[in-house]
Amino acid sequence: MTDLTPDLANLIARRFAVLGEPTRLRLLNLMHSRGEASVGELVEATGGTQANVSKHLGVLLGERMVVRRRDGSRALYSIADPTLIRLCDEVCAGVREQLRELSSMVEAGAPR
């Protein structure tokens, strides 16, 4: 991270704060795996309420992480920034590795 100015650091921190909400991560994951999706489809897949899913989509839309297009009376959402998927994949890989290490440590220390 070269040339990390205070303004750039603030923008990056804001992006991470938006991604710090589990529901938003789930919505992005669903759009990544399924492609474009309506609010109703995302509500059904997450088990959330329409109001809650719409609120989180609004945040993602406001941060330009997703885009919305109209298809008749439906609004369809999709990921606008493919770097989000690469970032999430990297973080997931790191967390999985930490979990494997912790599991190995627990197994090694468990009495037999």
Q: Where do the domains of the chain lie, and which CATH numbers do they carry?
A: 6-81 (1.10.10.10)
Q: How many CB atoms lie within 10 A of CB 108?
A: 7
Q: Are 28 and 60 in contact (CB under 8 A)?
A: yes
Name the H helices within the chain: 6-19, 22-34, 39-46, 50-62, 83-109
Structure tokens at 112: 């037999």
- pLDDT recorded at residue 54: 97
Tens of pLDDT along 56-107?
A: 999 999 999 999 999 999 999 999 998 988 888 888 888 999 999 988 888 8
What is the model's pLDDT at position 85? 87
